[in-house]
Structure 1
Amino acid sequence: MSAHYLDISAVSIEFPTPNGSFKALDNVNLKIEQGEFISLIGHSGCGKSTVLNIVAGLHNATQGGVILQGKEVRQPGPDRAVVFQNHSLFPWLSCYDNVRLAVDKVMKGKSKAERHEWTEHNLKLVHMEHAKHKKPDEISGGMKQRIGIARALAMQPKVLLMDEPFGALDALTRAHMQDSLMEIQAELNNTVIMITHDVDEAVLLSDRIVMMTNGPAATIGEILKVDLERPRERLVLADDPTYNHYRAEVLKFLHERHAKKDVPTAKKSSAVVEVEIPTTTTAAEKHAAA
């Protein structure tokens, strides 16, 4: 039995193509503790969504596997809820009924009153109780994503999987959604794995940032531990040297990978480099890192 809450162990996956086998991931290893917020970041095609899909049970690894609380993940289940960039709401149902669908799925033994109360609770959690009777086409993009998150949370998942959930939103709405997610995660202590292309989002939200190498045969290049106190205030952190050092480290990694994008990825060892940034940074170090 794994000693970790979620154990992604030696995961590799190959897909058949007309030109032969395509290896998307090679020997991905990641141990996640309960309540951690993990961001996956890397260039397009680096296998971030494939990792998420394997944890969700939508794909099975060719080699290795995923253990969640001592049980192997082989198929989708309500213990792992996914929030996609596209909200995936049913347009003919109200916001309430979109959330209620998930509640009815996971609370079959509960009374109608208990299901109603749980649906209302999750709508309040994302500050959407005022729009519960509206249809998806009557609300904004950010509000749709709030309903999608409420639906996922209503399943009481052990792991919340988020695939660029705020990628299609404008900057202001995105900032509001990030703040809401931090509030929810602080209240519920969810274990979250989120894919993002936004460096600031990754540093703001995460306990650790997992940086992926380029595909094919992508793997974990570095893991950056984000040692910033919570709750986190974006305006305060904007001028914080430690925050900016973390940000510079991620940008440096992505820049180096971009420069090597045409070079075949060498096979990586199972050892993953974990990077911890000192909590104090001089102006000279900050300038050099940037």
Structure 2
Amino acid sequence: MNKIVRILPGIFLSLLSLSSCDGLFTEDCIYKGYLHARNGFHHPSDMGTPEQAEMNLMVFPLTGNGVAEYDNLSIPFNGSGDAYGTLHIGSYEFLACNKDVNILEDAGSAATVRLRVPTEQGKITAEQGYAYSSSVTGTVMTDDTLHVTCESKLMVQRIVFNITVTNTGILEYTGITAELDGVTTSRYVRTREKGSGFATLPFTVSPEKENFFRKEVLVFGINTGVSNVIRLHLDGDMPVDADLDLSDVFKDFTADGISVDITVRVSPSLHTASASIEDWQNVEWGQGIITY
């Protein structure tokens, strides 16, 4: 009996020396695991992609202690396309994206977070680049590593304007200043669906050869519920303006890209010009855009 009394205090002291989670499962214990995310780009071979280090992994806890503790948690990918973290155990949704020139908005929820291109007074003020995103879910287990792969896909569409100027005579045109109405200003990161906002996109077009101008722009999309007019101002010996409604071109525009052929006919005697649509063609990424 005396032996047992001597042993019990030793056991009690040993238990006290253990950390709160060593071998004991209690509500006071904090259990964590590890994350390894790998990013991969889906893109055609003729296009560039962002640097892997420009990509970030947004962490949205679904269950566990992370729900209360992680607010707007973001983990950067390294140059090799890997992101590492230590997280509370539980289920998560991870969103990978690069901001490019865009603004990250409503980042409190995976369902609402989106990228928005900067605008001022109804006009887009930054040149859109290649923006990517992906969504993946997984569960972090105690002292285990969750491996996820982010299949990042493009959030933008490509529009190529091929503009031919005719009836110029001896007139020379050195460039075109253009504005396109109804350009979508945001996309949701999780689904890559278009937001409802829109603005006017200003851009300039340089000549590729005499009387032929070509410009490629990247956009989050086209809002077909509003005006889709393009306004063209030809700079040169006799500056002229021409407006053209592109509603028919964009009404079914869901492809990765589109090539639009436009002819501007100058009337030197009247100091005016008119524009018309000659053709358009939907193009998927990697299919290539027709050049002249």
Q: State the TM-score, normalized to the length of structure 2.
A: 0.22
Q: Which has the larger radius of gyration?
A: 2
Structure (1/2) with the larger helix percentage: 1
Higher strand share: 2
